[in-house]
Amino acid sequence: SKSDCLKGKRALVTAGGTQEPLDPVRYLGNRSSGRMGYAVAQALQEAGAETILVSAPTDLPTPHGVSRVSVQTALEMYDAVLANFPNMDVIVKAAAVADYRPASQSEQKIKKDGTNRMIELVPNPDILAELGRRKTSQVLIGFAAETENLLANAQEKMHRKNVNLLVANDVTKPGAGFGSPTNIVSFLFPDGRRIDFPKMSKLEVARNLVGEIANLLGDCNKG
């Protein structure tokens, strides 16, 4: 049946926004709540997959039956994901990963002195692109959070990061993107196929995604 068609499969999902420390009390972050990734982990678990959730800090409870690995920074997420990657059948990268981190971290709280301040940033590794290079038989799913030229930017990411399916969301639309309980997404496939969805709950988006993952794995009874 459809309800357990990922039985025996191992899945890893990333969720939330990484935090890049500046000093012991401050960090650079983003607006991800983790809701989208947590919904994907729940839907994969409900479909029978053994599911690991690599999570940046969030306020959300771990979905029932899912194993959670908590991380803070992009580098910690990179290590946790790469360590598990060879054993996974499915990877879904819903996390909002910081593209840059502060070049150095102050050991003590930075004091104010009334002058302007510069923060030097260095690039973080692109976790999804690295998985795309190492991919053997895994089904690799990426997200694209865009504020303009949604489909063109998403298509470019799909090809550059070598994913099997890309979930594109325009994070400026009301009811979509960061923090909201709902999302408005398109699924893009490397063969040019595209599915546009209306606004729906993140759990419904996640269940539609799991349906496509089952098709991509190819060993699930349809209908």
CB distance 13 to 41 below 8 Å: yes
Q: Does 125 show up as a binding residue in the annotation? A: yes
CA–CA distance, 126 with 161 (Å, rounded to integer): 9
Q: Which stretch binds ligand PMT (CB under 6 A): 21-29, 82-90, 101-109, 172-180?
A: 172-180
> Taking a C-beta distance cutoff of 8 angstroms, is the pair 177, 170 a contact?
yes
175 binds ligand PMT (CB under 6 A): no
The annotation status of 170 as a binding-site residue, yes or no, is: no
Q: State yes or no: residue 32 binds ligand PMT (CB under 6 A).
A: yes
95 binds ligand PMT (CB under 6 A): yes
Is 190 assigned a ligand-binding role in the annotation? no
Among 91, 98, 101, residue whose Cα is nearest residue 128: 91
CA distance 3 to 148: 37
Q: Which stretch binds ligand PMT (CB under 6 A): 1-9, 63-71, 87-95, 111-119?
A: 87-95
Give the C-alpha separation, 27 to 33, whole Å: 16
Q: Is 30 a catalytic residue?
A: yes
Helix, strand, or coil (residue 169): strand
Residues that bind ligand PMT (CB under 6 A): 32-36, 74, 93-97, 99, 124, 126-128, 142-145, 157, 169, 171, 177-179
Residues flagged as binding site for CTP: 99, 109, 125-128, 143, 157, 161
